[in-house]
Amino acid sequence: MRTVSDLSELKAVNQNNVELNNKAEKGSAMSGFHGLFIPGPTNMPFGVRQAMDIPLEDQRSPDFPAFTLPLFQDLKKVFKTETGQVFLFPGSGTGGWEASITNTLSPGDRVLVAVFGQFSHLWADLCQRHGLIVDKVDVEWGEGVPLDIYAERLKADKDHKIKAVLCCHNETATGVTSDIAGVRKALDAAGHPALLMVDGVSSIASIDFRMDEWGVDLAVSGSQKGFMLPTGLAIVAVSQKALEASKTAKCPRCFYDFAEMSKANKDGYFPYTPATTLMRGLRASVDTLLGEGLDNVFARHNRLAEGVRLAVDAWGLSLCAKEPKWHSDTVSAICVPKGFNAAEVIKVAYHRYRMSLGTGLSKVAGRVFRIGHIGNINEIMILQALAGSEMAMRDVGIPVEAGSGVAAAQEHFRATAPKIELAKVA
């Protein structure tokens, strides 16, 4: 029971909140939307937000499987797998990594992994913490999976000590996309039975991904990027080969146990309380993706990303990605000139222009800022990001010409936009 003192304090807090809200509403800087141009969490479609704005539901109700079973099947379409199984764990992409590792490997197993950014580094670190032997290939940040080195290591591993090959499909920290089909070719050429594990957190549902065709055994994604949802779901697609490996793997697991999840999922339920609200949003997201058509989704991301790349060139700057073959269609990491701090660009963009840009991580901290062009985004939104970036860069003294990047992207978008028939004036 609240006391008079408690109620007085609560009233004072509420009054203070009202005053702050009134001040915010009166300030011109608070009108409109804050621009979100980080590579995740991404902008949510209104339809997805509305799908989650529902009363909480009974996850053990008799009709719950009528919702979950079709969702499981349609998620397989996004991963482009017919034979795999998709699991939904409460968590983030990191949880998906842990689920993949602990369900299929045993302490002392050897894994091959290339480290060329913050997230590939963290995945390798996770493996070490679980007692795996990490055969790490350090690659210059700005490049991707080194297919030649992978091929050499796999061919030399005659005893098949390497049990899994790990690949970060899209390294979010550096804006680099790697060739997963090329990794599969290297495995097949060596006749190597290792599992192929792919971090697709910032690629799946945005960049072409073909689980069955590329022979991917475990594909990890998260709800907050291409699926256009809040953070909270680790979405993991698992091949039959990986499911078989999970029967003998010795790494401890409980929350992320494939066997427990499979047992409950087959009837449309979960072994513990699922994130039902997020799943309702996921249903709307998958409907949006399949409604647009995955090939159209990939083409849209490529077109918008190309506009950003042309803008960077017009500014006279460079991307962290060293070559066009590494260019990411979901995030661009843009290098600032020597003598400037990218963190200042991000700070100015946030405080002066109400726009969030991605920060540089670890080795590239202060050297790059990132523009996320992933998920629910279009031409006008990209132009906002470019205009805000130009203003922020000029504010900190970086000598880019006002409007140069925006103009380059505009002309690209105009040249590649769908043609429409214009009415003739008599």
Residue pLDDT, tens place only, 197-239: 999 999 999 999 999 999 999 999 999 999 999 999 999 999 9
Residue after which a domain boundary falls, among 290, 305, 326? 290
User: What average pLDDT does range 66-72 have in this prediction?
Assistant: 98
> Per-residue confidence at 15, pLDDT binned at 50, 70, 90?
low
pTM of the model: 0.91
Number of domain units in the chain: 2
Asked if residue 18 has pLDDT above 80, the reply is no
CB 95 within 8 A of CB 122: no
The CATH number of the domain holding residue 358 is: 3.90.1150.10
> Per-residue confidence at 105, pLDDT binned at 50, 70, 90?
very high
Do 65 and 168 lie in one domain? The reply is yes
Do 272 and 408 lie in one domain? The reply is no
Do 219 and 328 lie in one domain? The reply is no
What is the DSSP code (8-state) at residue 233? E
pLDDT of residue 6: 41
Distance CA 265, CA 72 (A): 9
Closest alpha carbon to 374 in 12, 44, 7: 44
Please indicate, yes or no, if residue 334 is contained in any of the structural domains: yes
Residue after which a domain boundary falls, among 290, 313, 348? 290
Do 83 and 157 lie in one domain? The reply is yes
- pLDDT tens-digit readout, 339-393: 999 999 999 999 999 999 999 999 999 999 999 999 999 999 999 999 999 999 9
Do 244 and 364 lie in one domain? The reply is no
Asked if residue 74 has pLDDT above 60, the reply is yes
Distance CA 261, CA 255 (A): 9
Burial readout 166-197 (b: 16 or more C-beta within 10 A, e: otherwise): bbbbbbbbbbbbbbbebbbbbbeebebebbbb
- pLDDT tens-digit readout, 285-303: 999 999 999 999 999 999 9
What is the DSSP code (8-state) at residue 91? E
> What does the H/E/C string look like for 121-177?
HHHHHHHHHCCCEEEEEECCECECCCHHHHHHHHHHCCCCCEEEEEEECEECCCCEE
pLDDT of residue 26: 46
How many angstroms separate the first and last alpha carbons of the chain?
Answer: 77
The CATH number of the domain holding residue 131 is: 3.40.640.10
Integer CA distances (angstroms), 268 to 98, 232, 253, 286, 318, in order: 23, 20, 22, 18, 49
Burial readout 270-293 (b: 16 or more C-beta within 10 A, e: otherwise): beeebbbbbbbbbbbbbebbeeee
Asked if residue 273 has pLDDT above 90, the reply is yes
What is the DSSP code (8-state) at residue 358? B
Do 225 and 351 lie in one domain? The reply is no
User: What average pLDDT does range 237-258 have in this prediction?
Assistant: 97
Do 364 and 381 lie in one domain? The reply is yes
> Per-residue confidence at 29, pLDDT binned at 50, 70, 90?
low
- pLDDT tens-digit readout, 161-176: 999 999 999 999 999 9
Asked if residue 10 has pLDDT above 70, the reply is no
For residue 372, give its domain range.
Answer: 33-43+293-416
Do 245 and 102 lie in one domain? The reply is yes
Do 217 and 309 lie in one domain? The reply is no
Tokens matching residue 155: 């061919």
Tokens matching residue 307: 């506009």
Residue after which a domain boundary falls, among 290, 310, 336? 290
Please indicate, yes or no, if residue 260 is contained in any of the structural domains: yes
Do 209 and 307 lie in one domain? The reply is no
Please indicate, yes or no, if residue 422 is contained in any of the structural domains: no
